[in-house]
Structure 1
Amino acid sequence: MADDKSKADQRDRSRVAGDEDYEVDYLAEKLGVSRAQVKDAIAAVGNNREAVEKHLRGN
């Protein structure tokens, strides 16, 4: 039986959940920065994943 597409969850992969340690750790490891730098970037540019990564890369 096929999956019911009307029961999709509400996750938004374009956002960073700054209060979730595993997401902060993932970004810190991926970009080679500290957890504090990730949290500072979220505070500076919001929780849009693309904007956070761009901010941390210095672009």
Structure 2
Amino acid sequence: MTDDKSKTGGPDRERINVNEDYELQYWTKALGVSADVVREAVKAVGPTAAAVRQHLGK
């Protein structure tokens, strides 16, 4: 998925792009884990925020 900053609807909010520093920083704060943990979770279960939260028990 392209990270088009002009399109900020629901689908973009529900995905975690670990290749964008600002998104990675947001998710580390939102989930209370390190960037490496977020990357590993995305690698394990995919980029959807719901799947990552479930994987991390959040």
Alignment TM-score > 0.5, same fold: yes
Cα deviation for residue 50 of structure 1 reads 0.8
Query: TM-score, normalising length from structure 1?
Result: 0.70
Deviations 1:4-26 (A, max 9, x none): xxxx8375221111111111111
- Number of aligned residue pairs: 51
Stretches of structure 2 that go unaligned for 5 or more consecutive residues are: 1-5
Stretches of structure 1 that go unaligned for 5 or more consecutive residues are: 1-7
Whole-Å separation in 2 of the counterparts to 1:10 and 1:31: 20
Q: What's 2:3 paired with?
A: none
Q: What's 2:47 paired with?
A: 47
Q: What's 1:9 paired with?
A: 7
RMSD, matched Cα: 2.1
Deviations 1:13-56 (A, max 9, x none): 21111111111111111121110000000000010111012112
Q: What's 1:3 paired with?
A: none
Flag the structure with larger Rg: 1
Query: TM-score, normalising length from structure 2?
Result: 0.70
The answer to whether the 8 A contact 1:31-1:57 is kept is no
Q: Relative to structure 1, is the Cα distance of residues 19 and 32 closer, same or farther in structure 2, using a 3 angstrom cutoff?
A: same
